[in-house]
Amino acid sequence: MTESPIIVALDFASLSTALHLADQLDPDRCRVKVGKELFTREGPAVIHSLHNRGFEVFLDLKFHDIPNTVAKACAAAADLGIWMLNVHTLGGSAMMYAARQAVGTATDAPLLIGVTLLTSMDQATFNEVGLSGDMPGTVQKLALLAKDSGLDGVVCSAQEASLLQKALGKEFCLVTPGIRPKDSVADDQHRTMTPIDAVQAGSHYLVIGRPITGALNPMQALAEIEASLG
Ligand SMILES: O=C(O)c1cc(=O)[nH]c(=O)n1[C@@H]1O[C@H](COP(=O)(O)O)[C@@H](O)[C@H]1O
Each residue's pLDDT tens digit in the chain (230 positions)? 899 999 999 999 999 999 999 999 999 999 999 999 999 999 999 999 999 999 999 999 999 999 999 999 999 999 999 999 999 999 999 999 999 999 999 999 999 999 999 999 999 999 999 999 999 999 999 999 999 999 999 999 999 999 999 999 999 999 999 999 999 999 999 999 999 999 999 999 999 999 999 999 999 999 999 999 98
Q: Among 32, 61, 119, which is best to mutate for testing ligand 1, by the most ligand atoms less than 8 A from CB?
A: 119
- Within a domain: 192: yes
Domain span at residue 95 reads 6-228
Interior/surface letters 195-215, b for 16+ CB within 10 angstroms, e for the rest: bebbbebbbbbbbbbbbbbee
In a domain, 1, yes or no: no
User: What is the domain count for the chain?
Assistant: 1
194 lines ligand 1 (CB under 6 A): no
User: Would you say residue 183 lies in a domain?
Assistant: yes
- The whole-angstrom distance between residue 17's C-alpha and the CA centroid of its chain comes to 21
Q: Is the pTM of this model over 0.80?
A: yes
CATH code at position 91: 3.20.20.70
Assembly ipTM:
0.99
Measured from the CA of 117, which atom of ligand 1 is nearest? 7
Closest atom, ligand 1, to C-alpha of 121: 7
For ligand 1, the distance from its centroid to the CA atom of residue 100, given in whole angstroms, is 22
Which residues are designated catalytic? 60, 62, 65
